[in-house]
Amino acid sequence: MNHAPEHHTPQGVTAAAGFRAVGITAGLKASGTPDLALVVNDGPAKNAAAVFTTNRVAAAPIHWSRKVIADGRAEAVILNSGGANACTGAEGHANTRATAEATADALGVDAGDLLVCSTGLIGEQLPMDKITAGIGTACAALEAGSGPDGGADAATAIMTTDSVPKQAGFSCAGYAIGGMAKGAGMLAPGLATMLVVITTDAALEAPELDAALRAATRVSFDRADSDGCMSTNDTVLLLASGASGIRPDLAEFTDGLTGVCTDLAHQLIADAEGAAHEISIRSFNAASEDDAEEVSRSVARSNLFKTAIFGQDPNWGRVLSAVGTTAAAFDPDELDVAINGVQVCRAGGIGEDRSLVDLAGRKVLVEIDLHAGEAEATIWTNDLTHDYVHENSAYSS
């Protein structure tokens, strides 16, 4: 089934009924660009689910939000860029609590129902005077009416090294799903490195939302692997207002949600730091989906392969070398590899002339036939460029 959202579907976190959003400048970033976002669920339902980073070094907002989401309920989410609030000790945890309490007080809700997300540099305390003042400004703007661009403003405010805001949407049979994401580096599961807020006006309970979200992220964000580096702050939230009154079939809803997540995941890879190529690595005829995923991911994490693509060199030997490091079932003498439609490797050996491969465009498709079964999986990644090295060598300076 085609997961791509419809062309004219409203985008972003305010696409679904029952949600308001705002993005403002609180002065957290030296650039003076927007850096604080707020998304509020006006109900009638306040059901929610979330998936978080599996990094054992998790940021303070992760610990807080895990507790908030445990009962499957959330009133709102406050998000800041300009500081990850990770590896900040007891003060960092206190600052997350203070952020939640200040936002909850301004909204007139329980702080225990307030989700918190942060993104930016690890190992620095947040300027809480600016955060607190910004919360007041954001809540006042929300109360005054954030207007039709509230969702877009929120998507802009959560950007860090992103070059563009990222939004997606889906609508079907009277209900809608909308979402925003940030992320341009440290993109590797569990989850890709990101903050994502997805909203829906479908009438679904928290356990249903949780099942749908985990199914959707497994084949979308978990398949985006830019640089093999996992963040301390990964968060994907799904909030449901029930405002449409529509209770969709769960499989149908999961399919629509997967479309939104896949769209956002592709946008993350397209905006990866310094990337010149967006690469899809499809392994097929595998003994299992896990095998196919392992093979594709091994290639996606090969710096030799990624630099070859940057140099427009269809060096298929680097593909086979990566495949050979996996535990997947295959016979090395039966492997086939195609790059942008040219079968450069046939039966584990030389195929068509590699000079026939055109890598001048941004899109690259690598297809690996394992000849071991019927399963398949695709991992999305990008090349490794001079710009990526430059940006990440100077990130904290």
For the stretch 69-119, pLDDT in tens is 999 999 999 999 999 999 999 999 999 999 999 999 999 999 999 999 999
Provide the CATH number for the domain around residue 324: 3.10.20.340
The residue among 227 and 255 whose pLDDT is bigger is: 255
Total residue count of the chain as it appears in this document: 397
Residues 241 and 356 occupy one common structural domain: no
What domain count does the chain have?
Answer: 2
| 254, 288: one domain | no
Task: Print the domain residue range for 335.
Answer: 278-393
In a domain, 151, yes or no: yes
Assess if residue 2 is contained within a domain.
Answer: no
Which one of 249, 270, 291 terminates a domain?
A: 270
Which residue, of 270, 291, 320, is where some domain finishes? 270
Instruction: Return all residues near 248 (Cβ < 8 A) that are at least 6 apart.
Output: 172, 173, 175, 202, 204
The verdict on residue 14 lying in a domain is: no
More confident residue, 162 or 67: 67
Q: Tell me the pLDDT of the chain averaged across its residues.
A: 92
Structure tokens at 45: 């339902």
Cα–Cα nearest to 337, from 299, 303, 291: 299
193 is known as an active-site residue: yes
CA nearest neighbour of 296 among 306, 281, 311: 281
Q: Looking at the predicted structure, is the pLDDT value of residue 226 above 90? A: no
**283 in the same domain as 246:** no
The CATH number of whichever domain residue 224 belongs to comes to 3.60.70.12
- Residue 184, burial from CB neighbour count under 10 angstroms (0-12, 13-18, 19+): buried
List, in sequence order, the alpha helices (H) in 5-127: 60-69, 89-107
Cα–Cα dist 189/59, whole Å: 16
Domain match, 362 and 262 both: no
pTM: 0.91
Domain assignment of residue 9, yes or no: no
What angle, rounded to 10 degrees, do the helices at 89-107 and 60-69 form? 50
Same domain, yes or no, for 219 and 325? no
374/229 same-domain check: no
Of 229, 247, 270, the position where a domain reaches its end is 270
- Per annotation, catalytic residue among 156, 160, 193, 381: 193
Q: Does position 8 have pLDDT exceeding 70, yes or no?
A: no
Confidence of residue 234 (pLDDT cuts 50, 70, 90): confident
Q: Are the beta carbons of 169 and 9 closer than 8 angstroms?
A: yes
Would 12 be classed as within a structural domain?
A: no
Residue the block writes with tokens 């689910």: 49
Nearest to 266 by CA among 218, 226, 304: 226
Beta-carbon contacts of 234 under 8 Å, excluding residues fewer than 6 positions away, are 52, 53, 55, 62, 190, 191, 192, 193, 194, 195
- pLDDT recorded at residue 54: 86
Based on the domain organization, do 283 and 266 belong to the same domain?
no
Residue 88: DSSP 8-state: -
Does residue 352 share a domain with residue 218?
no
Angle between helices 316-323 and 303-310 (to 10 degrees): 160
Residues 80 and 189 in one domain: yes
Residues 211 and 144 in one domain: yes
Q: Do 258 and 181 share a structural domain?
A: yes
Co-location of 231 and 293 in the same domain: no
Strands 19-24 and 175-182, how do they pair?
unpaired
Asked if the structure places residue 201 within a domain, the reply is: yes
